[in-house]
A and B are shown apart, each in its own frame.
Chain A
Amino acid sequence: MTCGARLTPSDESVQNAKTEFRLKLPADLDSLAQAREFIATVFKSLGVDDTLGADLILGIDEAITNVMIHGYRGGPGAIRIEVAPHGSSVHIRLEDHAPLFNPTKAALPDLTLPLDQRPIGGMGIPLMRRTTDELLYRVSSDGGNELTMIKHHAVQKNPKP
Chain B
Amino acid sequence: MTAEMKINVSTMKGKKPVTVLTITGEVDANNAKSLEEKVTAACKTSSALLFDMGGVTYMASAGYRAIHKGYKLLHPETDVVPSGLSDKLKMLNPPDSVRRIMKTLGFDVYIPMVSGDVRGAVDSF
Contacts and interface: CB of A to CB of B under 8 A. Distances in A.
Interface of A: 29-34, 36-37, 51, 54-55, 57-58, 61-62, 65, 68-69, 111-118, 120-121, 123-124, 126-127, 130
A126 B103 CA distance: 13
B60 A111 contact: no
A33 B30 contact: yes
B105 to A, nearest CB: 6
Main secondary structure of the interface of B (DSSP, over half): loop
Counting chain A CB atoms within 10 Å of each CB, which of B26, B58, B110 scores highest? B58
Contact of A33 (B1, B106, B107, B111): B1
A125 to B, nearest CB: 9
Contacts of A36: 26, 28, 58
Contacts of A115: 68, 71-72, 75, 106-107, 110-111
Main secondary structure of the interface of A (DSSP, over half): helix
B59 to A, nearest CB: 8
B30 A29 contact: yes
A118 B111 CA distance: 14
Nearest to A117: B77
B97 A55 contact: yes
Contacts of B107: 115
Contact of B71 (A112, A116, A130): A116
